[in-house]
Amino acid sequence: MEQKFFKVVANGKPRQAAVEKFKEYPEIDFVYWQGPGRMPPAYFEEQLAEADAVYSVGALRDPLGADFIEKAPHLKVLAQASVGYDNIDVAAFRAAGIPVGNTPGVLVDAVADLTYALILDCQRHLVAAAAHVKNGTWGQRKALGLGSDLAQKTLGIVGMGDIGSAVAKRAQASHMKVIYHNRHQRTDDEALGVRYVGFEELLSTADVIVVAVTLNPSTLGLFGHKEFARMKKGAAFVNISRGKVVDSAALYDALKSGHLSHAGLDVTDPEPLPGDHPLLTLDNITVTPHIASATTETRDAMALLTVANIMAGLKGQPLPAQIK
Ligand code: GLV
């Protein structure tokens, strides 16, 4: 039998693209935990004890930190198939000398497209309009109401990284004006055709607000009662970052009172959002189940970048996408 040199363990079922890619490396023994009901949790822990690398299938898993590192004494690299890494205690991995990789870049267009779709839905009520037709109420026009133009409206992006700027380009195609707020002003505002503003100014000026920040202690609960109250009456709110950036009860109040016209969320707190959650009783909200990067091409690209991160880590090289 062929000698395997490295054990790579996944904490869930990875994309088939990753399974196939690892087959190209005869030195890799790739195993994955198939999840509760299919395999006992003990299987994962047993594999982890021998793991040279861990492939984390996504950010919505258990937290990965010091306890996890203790269970994986041979670990040389951790790579997660997501851009967000708020579930990972990066400092603990750094202290243990274990590099951590994620998947920026490859998902930018897919996430920006879904964000733009949510902006469109907030302004044009596509989801409600389609349901209206399916419910057989076409013709009762009053039931539907009119949407709002995107053209000449102001989009306010909070968190203007690669995804934020890709959203800006899509909005500009609809002739929206774009303002943004970041911890640090970018150096390419003119090239992007966007304007940097303070957080307060963004809240009180934007017609549509998009949240694309990473979740960290400074963004946890960033949007609460005070922030929603500062938004323009009739503003729309889109969150594609992490649910915990928003106080769900405050968002509920802002939508219920009609202060906000509509919200589009791809992320919620908690996830999955239970079917009887108060937010889902509202007519002026569209919630998608955290699918912003969920296209075949993008998820495959994320899987392959995760494999590349692992292969580099096993060779002691810098990862192609290493979290600093
Ligand atoms: C998805 O939420 C990701 O972080 O990639």
Buried b (16+ CB within 10 A) or exposed e, 211-226: bbbebeeebeebbeee
Measured distance CA(177)–CA(308) in Å, rounded: 39
Residue labelled with tokens 């949240």: 211
Q: Tell me the fold of 108-287.
A: Rossmann fold (3.40.50)
* d(CA 82, ligand 1 centre) in Å: 4
| Tokens coding 252 | 């509920």
Say which residues have a Cβ less than 8 Å from residue 196's Cβ, sequence separation at least 6. 179, 180, 181, 182, 185, 186, 189
- CA torsion, points 187, 197, 177, 119, in degrees to nearest 10? 100
Prediction pTM value = 0.95
Measured distance CA(302)–CA(286) in Å, rounded: 26
* d(CA 59, ligand 1 centre) in Å: 6
* d(CA 186, ligand 1 centre) in Å: 23
272 preceded by cis ω (within 30°)?
Answer: yes
**So what's the pLDDT on residue 36?**
76
Measured distance CA(96)–CA(25) in Å, rounded: 26
Measured distance CA(152)–CA(155) in Å, rounded: 9
Residues flanking ligand 1, CB < 6 Å: 59, 82-84, 107, 293
- Please choose from 214, 266, 293, 298 the residue to mutate so as to test ligand 1's pocket, defined by most ligand atoms within 8 A of CB: 293
Say which residues have a Cβ less than 8 Å from residue 239's Cβ, sequence separation at least 6. 210, 211, 223, 245, 246, 263, 264, 265, 266, 267
The pLDDT tens digits along the chain (324 residues) read: 445 699 999 999 999 999 999 999 999 999 998 877 888 878 889 999 999 999 999 887 779 999 999 999 999 999 999 999 999 999 999 999 999 999 999 999 999 999 999 999 999 999 999 999 999 999 886 678 899 999 999 999 999 999 999 999 999 999 999 999 999 999 999 999 999 999 999 999 999 999 999 999 999 999 999 999 999 999 999 999 999 999 999 999 999 999 999 999 999 999 999 999 999 999 999 999 999 999 999 999 999 999 999 999 999 999 999 999
Helix (H, G, I), strand (E, B) or coil at 88: strand
Q: Exposed (0-12), middle (13-18) or buried (19+): which is 151, by Cβ within 10 Å?
A: exposed
Q: Which residue's CA is minimally distant from atom 5 of ligand 1? A: 82
Q: What is the DSSP letter of 232?
A: P
Atom number, ligand 1, closest to the C-alpha of residue 107: 5
CATH among 1.10.150.20, 3.40.50.300, 3.60.21.10, 3.40.50.720 for 6-106+296-314:
3.40.50.720
Amino acid at 146: L
Domain with CATH 3.40.50.720 in the chain: 6-106+296-314, 108-287
- Please choose from 83, 288, 291, 298 the residue to mutate so as to test ligand 1's pocket, defined by most ligand atoms within 8 A of CB: 83
Q: Which residue's CA is minimally distant from atom 1 of ligand 1? A: 82
Q: List, by residue number, the catalytic residues.
A: 242, 271, 290
